[in-house]
Amino acid sequence: MAAFVAKQMMGSQLKAVKGQLPGAGGGDDDGDKEKEEEAERERLEAIAEAEERRKEKHRKMEEEREQLRQGIRDKYNIKKKVVEEAAMPAEPDNPLMRKKKTPEELAREAELADQDEFTKLKNSLETQVNEIKQQIEEKMRSIHGKCVLQ
In this predicted model, what pLDDT tens digit does every residue of 62-78 receive, in sequence order? 999 999 999 999 999 99
* Mean pLDDT of the region 32-45: 94
Report DSSP state, residue 94: S
Helix, strand or coil, per DSSP, at residue 13: helix
- Using alpha carbons only, what angle is made at residue 38 by residues 36 and 39, rounded to the nearest 5 degrees? 65
**Contact criterion met (CB below 8 Å) for 32 and 15:** yes
Higher-confidence residue: 60 or 82? 60
- Among 69-78, 106-115, 133-142, the range scoring the smallest mean pLDDT is 106-115
Neighbours of 119 (CB within 10 A): 10
Measured over the CA atoms of residue 21, residue 25, residue 30 and residue 36, the dihedral's sign is negative
Which has the higher per-residue pLDDT, 28 or 32? 32
**For position 117, what pLDDT does the model report?**
75
Can you tell me the mean pLDDT for 1-17?
A: 70
CA angle 60-65-71, nearest 5°?
130
**In this predicted structure, what is the pLDDT of residue 63?**
96
pLDDT value at 115 more than 80? no
SS3 call for 101:
coil
Q: What is the pLDDT of residue 133?
A: 94
For 31, 55, 65, 67, 85, the CA distances from 59, given in Å and listed in that order, are 42, 6, 10, 12, 23
Do 5 and 39 form a contact (C-beta atoms < 8 A)?
Answer: no
Q: Using CA of residue 122, residue 127, residue 132, residue 138, what is the dihedral sign?
A: positive
Pick 116 or 58 by higher pLDDT. Answer: 58
pLDDT above 90 as % of the chain: 39
- 61 vs 87, more confident: 61
DSSP letter at 2?
H
Cβ-contact 92, 98 below 8 angstroms:
yes
| pLDDT confidence bin for 23, thresholds 50/70/90 | low
